[in-house]
A = this chain, B = another copy of it.
Amino acid sequence: MVVDRRKMIVDAATNSFSQFGFKATTMDQVAKIANVGKGTIYTFFSTKEELFDEITNSLIKEMKIAAEEAIDETLTFQENVHRALYRILEFRLEHQLTIKLFQEGREMRTPAAMEVIERIEKAILNFIKDKIEKAINKGEIQRCDPELTSFVMLKLYVALIFDWEKNHEPLSKEKIAKVLEQYIFEGLSK
């Protein structure tokens, strides 16, 4: 195998999707960047969506790895959830592909982009849900509905990181940790 055409295609498509988004990436363009004929792409992927799926699935896998790496078994459940969630949302801001996709979903409502956003969200929810279930079994936290709890946590994180700064100064990582601790883990009542 002199050149791995499949890899060339995937790399070219990743670049193009990251720069221009799903809709504005054409198969002709991908073929040209990858230095292959357009037909070659279709020997590996039967549609543009399938090519896109392969790339976004890798993205989600990478995200999971990043989240797992953020976890430190010697720390408490609280600290780990914070570290993992913060890392995942940081990941979103570091990777051109996620930035572009979220923008495309929000501004142009491209269905393919919106589907990926949903898949990403579900992957994050599953990740946290799993951690919560384990923490319950270990007796680290109170018994609770893991589905609902992971949902509440993610919503709160997204709100604090992305929504809060639409009208306020961004919150520091430490401040977010404190807020989450105060609300989710401790409660507000006297």
Contact = CB atoms under 8 A, between A and B. Distances in A.
Contacts of A149: 188
A179 B147 CA distance: 12
Given A151-B164, A179-B148, A183-B184, A190 B156 contact: no
A184 B184 CA distance: 6
B159 A190 contact: no
B152 A155 contact: no
Contact of A156 (B140, B152, B186): B152
11 contacts: A141-B188, A141-B190, A142-B189, A147-B168, A152-B160, A152-B179, A155-B155, A183-B183, A184-B188, A185-B187, A187-B187
Interface in A139-167: 139-142, 144, 147-149, 151-152, 155-156, 159-160, 163-164
Given A139-B190, A144-B182, A155-B155, 5 more contacts: A142-B190, A144-B188, A151-B159, A152-B160, A185-B188
A78 interface: yes
A181 B152 CA distance: 13
A110 to B, nearest CB: 15
A122 to B, nearest CB: 8
Given A156-B156, A183-B183, A188 B142 contact: yes
A3 to B, nearest CB: 43
